[in-house]
Each structure stands twice: as structure tokens, then as C-alpha cells.
Amino acid sequence: MPETVRRSPLPTWLRAPLAISMAVASTVVHVLPLFVVALFKALLPLRPIRRGCDRLLARIAASWIDVNTFMVRAMMRTRFVVELPETLRPDGHYLVLANHQSWTDIPVLQAIFNRRIPMLRFFLKSELFWVPLLGLAWWALEFPFMKRYSREKLKRRPELAGRDIEATRRACRRFRDQPVSLTNFLEGTRFTPEKHARQASPFTHLLKPRAGAMAFVLDVMGDALHSILDVTIAYPEGRPGVGDVLADRIPEVRVHVRELPIPAELLGGDYESDRAFRARVHAWLNTLWQTKDATVTRLLSTRG
């Protein structure tokens, strides 16, 4: 249902530094206990202890997201228009597939899904491990870190080929016996008109999706997943940047979520070696993206 957040009475010059200070304080308060619990879990890797630590880590993360969401609601006048299915489960196993419009997509997704489904886990570049405090938090919460190699490096060291794929498999195996929401921005990067033109994308509002990571998650986790959550994000007044957030220039965010069954034709295949299976994956994903493109059109044209 549509939800309106009242405008903060604070002026922009005060609201922005106050929001940043509160975000830093919240990060420190939550990351430290996250690290302590994760370290305890690593030192005593007994199954009952690991499960108890996983539950505690999830509660700390949910509290962190609650605080961040409260700050957004208190500091900004953004109106959230969200369409959610009624079947979401906090103990579910989901593959979340979303388009990528702006860096604000992540806090938007966290705000609408927190405590409705298991904590969203994103596939991150390995370099992000070194981000102060946040890198520790992502490690403690077992976000999958992906190591990417350039073509030039792979030519020099061919033994590195496939390591990123194996890292995906290891990360997914850890989540088979615990509630999880594995989240993937299939476009691989944020949408910009320049990227759209460079790709010659056949979609009006989207970049071309990449199937590899999704195929590997389904290969390792397919029979353990409950469903796919197809998430479409749109900003009617244009894709926001950092300055738009701090200056309270995001009038509205629209999000449409639909729950889909795991396609039987995408399970049990070899994406790397089987050309026919790879073609089925691409065909299914292309159909999904055509529907998503039409959904973005609808979300942008619907009057609030």
C-alpha cells in the first residue's frame, strides 16, 4: 500500500550532516557486536553454536536496518509505493532478482523486506572487504565476496579461471540449511543512458541481464529455494544520486515484487558446458526482463 513520509522540519544544511553522523554511529554500534559474535562462531564451529550465532547475527542486522530505515523516514519526505505478495516468509529461502537503477536501491530493498524475508545477502566484489567497518560487517554476515580477474591476468595465469565460480558455489552451499535471501542485480551495474546506448540494449528502461551468477545459484541451491522474488524498482522523478538523498530530492520510490516458482527447466543443467541448457536459461531470463521492462513503464506512468 502507498505510504507517505512527512517532510523533516530540519533545514537541508543541518539534515545532511546529522544523517551522516547518525549513520556512522549506528554502523559502529552494530558492527562491533556483529564482529564479536562472528568471531565466537568461527572459534567454536559446533553446529548448535553456529545456528545460535546465525540467529543472533540476523537479529543484530535487522536492528541495524531498522535504525537506518527510521533515519530515512525521519529525515526525508520520500513516498514509498510498494506492491508486495502476501506469501513472504521470514524463514524462507529466496533468490531475489532485481534491476539496478541507483545506489539507493540497496537501502530501499532493505527497508521494504526487513523482517518480512531473511536478511538480503548481496554478491560483493572482493575489494569491498577492505571498506572500513562495513567490510567487517559483510564478512560477519557471510556476504559472498567474488574475486574477478581481467582477461589479461587470466592469459598470464590460466589456473585462476573458474575460481570466482567456485567461490559462488562455496558461498551458496553455506546457505542451504539456513533461511536466506540471495540477492542479485542481474544487470551487473547501475543503469545509465550511456551504458544503455553502449550495450544497444533491446529494453527501454533496463540493461541486458547477465545469467551466469543466477545459473550457478540455481545449480547449487535450486532444490533448497522456495521461490524467486522478481523485484522491479523505479524512480518517477529520475534516478537519484548521493546528493539527492542528502538534499531530500527523492519524492517517490515505486517497487513491484512478484513471487515466482523455481523453473524446472533451469535446474540440473551445466551452464558452462551445455549449450542447450545455457540457451534455456537465457530465453527464460529474456522473457523475465521483457516483463520487467513493461513493469517499469507502468510504474513510471502510474499517477501517485
Question: Tell me: the pLDDT tens digits for 267-282?
Answer: 888 888 899 999 999 9
What is the mean pLDDT of the segment spanning 234-256? Answer: 87
Using alpha carbons, list the distances in angstroms from residue 29 to 37, 197, 215: 13, 43, 37
pLDDT, the chain, mean: 87
Q: Is the separation of the CB atoms in 182 and 175 below 8 Å?
A: yes
Query: Percentage of residues in the chain with pLDDT exceeding 70?
Result: 89
Q: Kindly tell me the sign of the dihedral angle through the C-alpha atoms of 234, 289, 197, 199.
A: positive
Which residue bears the cell 557486536? 33
Per residue in 175-207, pLDDT tens?
887 899 999 999 989 999 999 999 999 999 999
Query: Each residue of 286-296: pLDDT tens digit?
Result: 999 999 999 99
Reply yes or no on whether the pLDDT at 34 is more than 60. Answer: yes
Q: Is residue 220's pLDDT more than 70?
A: yes
Higher pLDDT: 171 or 80? It is 80
Q: What sign for the dihedral angle of Cα 280, 282, 285, 290?
A: negative
Q: Which helix (H) or strand (E) holds 214?
A: helix 212-221
Q: What are phi and psi of 143, to 5 degrees?
A: -65, 135
Nine-digit cell at 80? 514509498
Q: If you write DSSP's letter for every residue of 158-197 in order, what string do you get?
A: GGGTTHHHHHHHHHHHHTTTS-EEEEEETTSS---HHHHH
Q: Check pLDDT > 70 for residue 3.
A: no
State the pLDDT at residue 303: 66
The residue ranking higher by pLDDT, 87 or 145, is: 87
Helices (H), 235-301: 242-246, 275-301
Q: Are 207 and 191 in contact (CB under 8 A)?
A: yes
Can you say how many angstroms the Cα of residue 47 is from the centroid of all Cα atoms in its chain? 27
Residue 227 sits at the vertex; the CA angle it makes with 3 and 293, to the nearest 5 degrees, is 60
* Distance between first and last Cα of the chain: 11
Q: What is the mean pLDDT of residues 230-242?
A: 92
**And the C-alpha cell for 136?**
567487517
Looking at residue 109, its pLDDT comes to 95
Each residue of 96-137: pLDDT tens digit?
A: 999 999 989 999 999 999 999 999 998 888 888 899 889 989
Give every CB contact of residue 206 below 8 A, 6+ residues apart in sequence. 99, 187, 191, 289, 292, 293, 296
CA distance 165 to 175: 16
Cβ atoms of residues 229 and 94 within 8 Å? yes
Give the predicted TM-score (pTM) of the model.
Answer: 0.88
SS3 at position 30: helix
Q: Which domains does the chain have, with CATH numbers?
A: 79-301 (3.40.1130)
Highest mean pLDDT among 73-82, 211-220, 221-230, 255-264: 255-264
